[in-house]
Structure 1
Amino acid sequence: MIHPLEEPRSLPPELHAYLGELVRRARAVCGPHLVSVFAVGSLALEDYWHGRSDVDVTVVVEPSLSGSALHDLAAALAHPDLLCPAAGLELVVYGTDFVGRPSGEAGYLLDLNTGPLLPDRLSFEAARSPSFWYVIDRSVAHQAGLSLFGRPAREVVAAPDRPDVLAAVRASVREHSDGEGHLADNRVLNGCRAVVFCRTGRWMAKRGAAQDIATAEEGFRPLIEAAVHSFERPRSSAVPLPTAEVRAFLAWVRERVDEAARADGR
């Protein structure tokens, strides 16, 4: 029997059965060691776009969960054994001892990427991974994590300290500036979201952040509107954006992030 989700009306209908089965399998593998399962990313920020967005899920377990159970969990949740209806599943498992305190480290026990449009990734060694993605996800989780099972995200995930989040945001922007492996529209929209976070201290959905920046920065409006138009298409139909304009925009984003970091350091 699929475990009923706690907030089914907050989830896209295309994902409800999938996430219910994901929770059921996590409970079967982890047993009483399972503390929480919650959605982050676009699901938490209410901007999931079917056919484009990944499903981002965080699992929190008691640190006494065995290493063999982590391997079993990865096998149980991997596509296509558990058929992912989205572009992909990005799932991270943390222990309560790590995730309950602020940290600028990656700190995961398991990092699994799987799905029809997502390159496979399976890692149990957090020290070998850049930390910035995980810091940002935990910041989003503390603010808006969408509960699927167990204790709410805000109770189990400590908010990373702002200097660590700003460092992570800058690293993210630098990664998107390089461009390799990222769609141009996503690079632009993540840049918009980064600037909004630096200005407000809150995470916003990509398209909402894009609207805010396009309104405030007339010079970038055509590029941002083109990025939104492309983002609302399937990944295979993404619209190319002018390379020089994307780089110029991301350079401007880096300046805004640096300004925020300097202001915090005063």
Structure 2
Amino acid sequence: MSRPSLPPPELRARLKELVRRTCAVCGDRLVSVVAVGSLALGDYRHGRSDIDVTVVVDPVPPRADLASLAATLTHPALPCPAAGLELVVYAADFTACPSGRAGYLLDLDTGPSLPARASHDPADASAFWYVIDRSVAHQAGLPLHGAPAREVIAAPDRPTVLAALRASVREHADGGGHLADNRVLNGCRATVHCRTGHWFARHRAGEIVAASEPAFRPLITDSLRSFERPREEAAALPADDIRAFLAWAAARVEEAATAAGT
């Protein structure tokens, strides 16, 4: 799938306003605003996908400014047209170096389908989410404002990414708070990254694994079909089949880690 050069039409006005409000709060400190996640990988699905945005600043704004940024971007102060907005603010000196830490200044979750959250303490969160997002940003970040992602966000090294994938697969195997189809397709994305070293959209990763692994093809096909629906209409999938698949995906991550000497 080719990488997008622009956000989807239904998001452009909101993203433009997000950038405007971020500029108004951060001023000259704002280095870059980058779309990551499904927007960067060309697989945004309205009603299903979140808007994932990474913001890089230099120097670090006062805590009061970060709180003001969260307030002005929180739904419905800025209505979110997607299922949710996940926005992370980093200092430029942190993103300039590879890291396995969460490391954020602000982590904002908001929107019609997301529990509201605004954290200023990286100890509040599991680091693997942020490692994966920064890796995706370096590979495929969609620029919304300022410097390109590759110039300001260093790629985590392979052992760090594999450790993040190990944690991600374990999280989805536990199942709490995750849709069944997303648990399966996250395992597919982890598997394909272990094989290729590149990030693929979940949907495309599912197609790749379904084609190569006949034993799991029915489960993945059902997951892909469910993934086309809004979150509220996601299908229930067999719990035992999901556990078996994610155990298989975890073994693929361990194989990759062993090959990498980690």
Q: Which letter does structure 1 place at the counterpart of 2:52?
A: D
Counterpart CA distance in 2 for 1:215 and 1:73 is 44
Q: Report if aligned partners of 2:107, 2:119 keep a CA contact under 8 Å in 1.
A: yes
2:261 is aligned, of 256, 261, 265, to 265
Q: Report if aligned partners of 2:32, 2:147 keep a CA contact under 8 Å in 1.
A: yes
- The alpha carbon displacement at 1:130 in A equals 1.2
Residue 223 (1) aligns with residue 219 (2): yes
Residue 128 (1) aligns with residue 124 (2): yes
Counterpart CA distance in 2 for 1:132 and 1:93 is 16
Residue 31 (1) aligns with residue 20 (2): no
Secondary structure of the residue aligned to 1:158 is: coil
Q: Which letter does structure 2 place at the counterpart of 1:247?
A: R
Secondary structure of the residue aligned to 2:59 is: coil
Q: Which letter does structure 2 place at the counterpart of 1:120?
A: A
Q: Deviations over 1:33-90 (max 9, x none)?
A: 0000010000000000000000000000013311111011000100000000000000
Q: In the alignment, which residue of structure 2 is the partner of 1:75?
A: 71
Q: Percent of counterpart pairs with the same letter?
A: 66
Q: Which letter does structure 2 place at the counterpart of 1:233?
A: R
Counterpart CA distance in 1 for 2:141 and 2:149 is 5
Q: Which runs of 5+ in 2 are unaligned?
A: none
Matches within 5 A, 1:135-154: 135-154=131-150
TM-score normalised to structure 2 length = 0.97
Residue 103 (1) aligns with residue 93 (2): no
Q: In the alignment, which residue of structure 2 is the partner of 1:4?
A: none
Counterpart CA distance in 1 for 2:4 and 2:42 is 13
Q: Which letter does structure 1 place at the counterpart of 2:222?
A: A
Residue 210 (1) aligns with residue 178 (2): no
Tell me the number of residue pairs that the alignment of Structure 1 and Structure 2 aligns: 260
Q: Which runs of 5+ in 1 are unaligned?
A: 1-6
Counterpart CA distance in 2 for 1:129 and 1:232 is 29
TM-score normalised to structure 1 length = 0.96
With 72-81 and 122-131 compared, the bigger mean Cα shift is at: 122-131
Secondary structure of the residue aligned to 2:118 is: strand
Secondary structure of the residue aligned to 1:10 is: coil
Superposed CA RMSD: 1.2
Q: Report if aligned partners of 1:8, 1:16 keep a CA contact under 8 Å in 2.
A: no
2:231 is aligned, of 235, 240, 243, to 235
Counterpart CA distance in 1 for 2:212 and 2:125 is 35
Q: Which letter does structure 2 place at the counterpart of 1:59?
A: V
- The alpha carbon displacement at 1:9 in A equals 5.6
